[in-house]
Structure 1
Amino acid sequence: MKRLLLTLAALGTAFTLQAKITLPVLFSDNMVLQQQSDARFWGTASAGKKVTIRPSWSKHPVTTTADREGHWQTTVPTPEAGGPYTIELSDGEALKINNVLIGEVWFCSGQSNMEMPMGGFRNQPVEGATEVIVGAKASTPIRICTVQRATARTPQESCSARWLENTPDAVAASSATAYYFARYLEQRLDIPVGIIVTCWGGTPVEAWMDRPALEAFPEFDLSFLDRNDKINHPSHQPTMLYNAMIAPLIPYTIKGFLWYQGEENRNRPAQYQRLMPAFVEMLRKNWGQGTLPFYYVQIAPYKYGVSDLVGGSALLREAQMRNLDEIPASGMVVTLDIGNKTCIHPARKAQVGQRLAWLALYNDYGIRGFEPNAPVYESMSVEGNRALLTFRTGKSSLAPLGDELAGFEVAGADRVFHPAKAWIDGRKGVLIVSSEEVPTPVAVRYAFRNYAEASLFNTSGIPASSFRTDDWELPVK
């Protein structure tokens, strides 16, 4: 009898817990909601129960009803940026969310260069981070939500994460790239900024894609998803990170996406170029907020075993550059000037976050007077022994004028490349490249190696990507 009573008591407790409103981890104290939006709210409650949401910024509560499985979803209109506010939810029993800010929310994902915390990796610091960490104050309206590592065969409804205030401990553990982006945005716009960070070092893009998106790529065998056997290196397998670390975040209302990844796909540049548009299309479709902006970081130069190997990771950078014309509402940060030959995790993350913020400020917040986009090679003509290159530079122009630019090579019909002199002709608005060894240029390359240093910029200080005018076959490793 005693055992029966204990069992009934346990069942009663479980029933009581099920009757309460439950919310995804993103809905918690310290959260940030996207300003001036119909912010999506969802969760569970008792089947058929009416759920009422009362935000402190509004006199008008929002109500919805849980379906037969207990799931509910609705939207809550948000005001202009501000706070802190509270939100009370009730199905007869109240649940309160405190210290809520209204501002700009950005989703940040990728592999280790997005994951790298402000406190740095072992033996690998982030430049300037100590000053930022020591100066962090909880009163600064930046909030950080970092998703913990996990993998799954099927899309999950929950994950491990929580919103944190802008304290030294929280900042030290946050993604340096994402935090510098948020800090720059908050300082320039003077409004709260929230970053949702979900990343895992050394992972390929296909691990972050869902099954329907990858079914269009027959080279990926997805049959393992239907089995229960052990998976080797699950974080490297298709869909496994999407299922556990992105799916639970959908459809939280956001402003846009930041992405820093590609090193793990560097030996498959042609495939990567096809995967990325499908990846972005998947994100936008699943979030259901239209063509949200997508800003990504081109991988930085690094030795990858042979630093002066022609092609190599430059082919991946080339694929990323081509994606600019293939992905609507996108922008790319070039990092050719801030790479490190001997460390795959460059320390200058502030410049990366700042350049991402420049793209957002220009495209999404209407701030002008500068050019956030890198110069992009457009065409080549030949005059005698000189190659004349034109670039797409927006409202900017090439720089620096008057300097001889390093890193250029030119080849003739024999396809043998020679170091070349390069300089900007400001009158003609072209870049001139020539070598005494090549009487009739056929092709030009710039910084097209695993590791190279930048010499060509625009007048806003944004470096040009490595590029080539030819399409000759090159080694990818």
Structure 2
Amino acid sequence: MKRLLLTLAALGTAFTLQAKITLPVLFSDNMVLQQQSDARFWGTASAGKKVTIRPSWSKHPVTTTADREGHWQTTVPTPEAGGPYTIELSDGEALKINNVLIGEVWFCSGQSNMEMPMGGFRNQPVEGATEVIVGAKASTPIRICTVQRATARTPQESCSARWLENTPDAVAASSATAYYFARYLEQRLDIPVGIIVTCWGGTPVEAWMDRPAMEAFPEFDLSFLDRNDKINHPSHQPTMLYNAMIAPLIPYTIKGFLWYQGEENRNRPAQYQRLMPAFVEMLRKNWGQGTLPFYYVQIAPYKYGVPDLVGGSALLREAQMRNLDEIPASGMVVTLDIGNKTCIHPARKAQVGQRLAWLALYNDYGIRGFEPNAPIYESMSVEGNRALLTFRTGKSSLAPLGDELAGFEVAGADRVFHPAKAWIDGRKGVLIVSSEEVPTPVAVRYAFRNYAEASLFNTSGIPASSFRTDDWELPVK
């Protein structure tokens, strides 16, 4: 028996010594690497083995050595956008990655509105998607990598995912929001774009955060992470999605983050406002690429059982709007004009992807001549029975001039709100709100209900967020 155990041990050692290079799933045929960067490569090989990387765009190989546990990591300088290229890795035995593009890589995450595929959900189509799917060509330099659903108590090193070319099947299964973003970016910049999509419908932001980040929020009980018993609704529990669906992707070199989530946290708006800056700080810290841009989508209007409920999901939209001033290098897409009263998944995903792309094009690629940011309420003053509101509009201004704008309410000291007339004073650069029922305005609200329709925009066609000038307590549901 002793001799048998020694023989098995010797065989195990031999297998270890003969281990081949293994790579994370992100390093595969059809991948996209971030252009003009020191792109991170990592994997495993035999302990102490020298690993050589030879990209076809360079005459200079990169070498590194696996540590005692067989892990290795290095960086490979990438050129300007282009391709396709090949990458050969060797520790004495060659491994080749084919059809590699160099371009822009964006990380895309969230819940069902990010997850919703171009092919739509059951009975819920994506507007205009069929034409895009049918017209998809593999030669178009867009690549899609979708991470499969999984949960874990501890951070994982691997996940299930693979890079796909821009074929009709791949496009139909891709996140519509992320794909429209990539398509718009590729068309405007004329360079390859890769999207890494990791999302799960109906999940809260805390499920996408790591344990160190969550430990700053004592209201969450994390003791289940140290046990082995069954977890109820694991995709809803803190850290479980980060561990399985984000951790394996780090530290793949990317350009920035896209985020579309919030519906699952709508009944906890104040907490959500605190969680989001911590979530973004965690992403940036763990990726270790500095202050990467973070662009997110404000949730769209939807009935949530009571369409006219004042407050409700509008409080979550308010928290998201406030996050703009709390998260550096961030931008928010407002979707107040594309909501659907009876469907939580708006069909107009092209507009969402386009507005995300506008933020990136303006902030990260130097394209000007338009204003991608939504008008944000700034201050209120009173002249007689009129409330005069100012907005942060960047290089744009409020629109449409001359129209009476719907969705406004005004209240006096009694805190009773009445429907109000609202219009833009172009000469003064203010929005005027007034009601005959309120002689002295104290507070104004706009579209501050579960479901509302937009009437206020900037001159680039970006809708203003719902807002209120008061801080009076309101029901969340």
User: What TM-score, normalized by structure 2, do the two folds share?
Assistant: 0.98
Aligned runs of 1:263-282 on 2, under 5 Å? 263-282=263-282
Deviations 1:237-271 (A, max 9, x none): 00000000000000000000000000000000000
Say which SS state the counterpart of residue 418 (structure 1) adopts.
strand
Give the distance between the partners of 1:112 and 1:366, measured in 2 at CA. 31
CA contact (8 A) 2:119 2:172 kept: yes
Give the distance between the partners of 2:316 and 2:17, measured in 1 at CA. 50
Number of equivalences: 477
Say which SS state the counterpart of residue 433 (structure 1) adopts.
strand
Shift of 1:442: 0.2
Shift of 1:144: 0.1
Counterpart in 1 of 2:452?
452
Shift of 1:103: 0.1
Shift of 1:30: 0.2
Shift of 1:15: 1.1
CA contact (8 A) 2:298 2:317 kept: yes
Q: Percent of aligned positions with the same letter in both sequences?
A: 99
CA contact (8 A) 2:57 2:85 kept: yes
Shift of 1:8: 6.0
Give the distance between the partners of 2:473 and 2:181, measured in 1 at CA. 37
Q: 1:203–1:14: structure 2 CA closer, same or farther, 3 Å change rule?
A: farther
Say which SS state the counterpart of residue 198 (structure 1) adopts.
strand
CA contact (8 A) 2:411 2:443 kept: yes
Unaligned runs of 5+ in 2: none
Deviations 1:381-424 (A, max 9, x none): 00000000000000000000000000000000000000000000
Unaligned runs of 5+ in 1: none
Shift of 1:281: 0.1
Shift of 1:17: 8.9
Query: How big is the alpha-carbon RMSD for the aligned residues of Structure 1 and Structure 2?
Result: 1.9
Shift of 1:278: 0.2
Q: 1:414–1:156: structure 2 CA closer, same or farther, 3 Å change rule?
A: same
Say which SS state the counterpart of residue 277 (structure 1) adopts.
helix
Say which SS state the counterpart of residue 197 (structure 2) adopts.
strand
Shift of 1:358: 0.0
Shift of 1:107: 0.1
Give the distance between the partners of 2:11 and 2:324, measured in 1 at CA. 56
Give the distance between the partners of 1:36 and 1:164, measured in 2 at CA. 22
CA contact (8 A) 2:16 2:46 kept: no
Aligned runs of 1:24-423 on 2, under 5 Å? 24-423=24-423
CA contact (8 A) 2:261 2:299 kept: yes
Shift of 1:19: 1.1
Give the distance between the partners of 1:147 and 1:11, measured in 2 at CA. 35
Give the distance between the partners of 2:19 and 2:47, measured in 1 at CA. 8
Give the distance between the partners of 2:203 and 2:298, measured in 1 at CA. 16
Give the distance between the partners of 2:11 and 2:353, measured in 1 at CA. 51
Say which SS state the counterpart of residue 440 (structure 1) adopts.
coil
Shift of 1:7: 9.0
Give the distance between the partners of 1:17 and 1:162, measured in 2 at CA. 28
Shift of 1:296: 0.1
CA contact (8 A) 2:33 2:104 kept: yes
Q: 1:425–1:140: structure 2 CA closer, same or farther, 3 Å change rule?
A: same
Give the distance between the partners of 1:152 and 1:10, measured in 2 at CA. 33
Deviations 1:110-157 (A, max 9, x none): 000000000000000000000000000000000000000000000000
Give the distance between the partners of 2:11 and 2:138, measured in 1 at CA. 42
Shift of 1:5: 13
Say which SS state the counterpart of residue 19 (structure 1) adopts.
coil
User: What TM-score, normalized by structure 1, do the two folds share?
Assistant: 0.98
Give the distance between the partners of 2:141 and 2:191, measured in 1 at CA. 7
Deviations 1:443-474 (A, max 9, x none): 00000000000000000000000000000000
Say which SS state the counterpart of residue 444 (structure 1) adopts.
strand
Say which SS state the counterpart of residue 271 (structure 1) adopts.
helix
Shift of 1:14: 8.2
Shift of 1:27: 0.1
Q: 1:153–1:14: structure 2 CA closer, same or farther, 3 Å change rule?
A: farther
Give the distance between the partners of 2:231 and 2:10, measured in 1 at CA. 36
Q: 1:25–1:403: structure 2 CA closer, same or farther, 3 Å change rule?
A: same
Deviations 1:171-196 (A, max 9, x none): 00000000000000000000000000
Shift of 1:10: 12
Say which SS state the counterpart of residue 387 (structure 1) adopts.
strand
Query: Bigger CA drift: 14-23 or 365-374?
Result: 14-23
Q: 1:374–1:5: structure 2 CA closer, same or farther, 3 Å change rule?
A: same
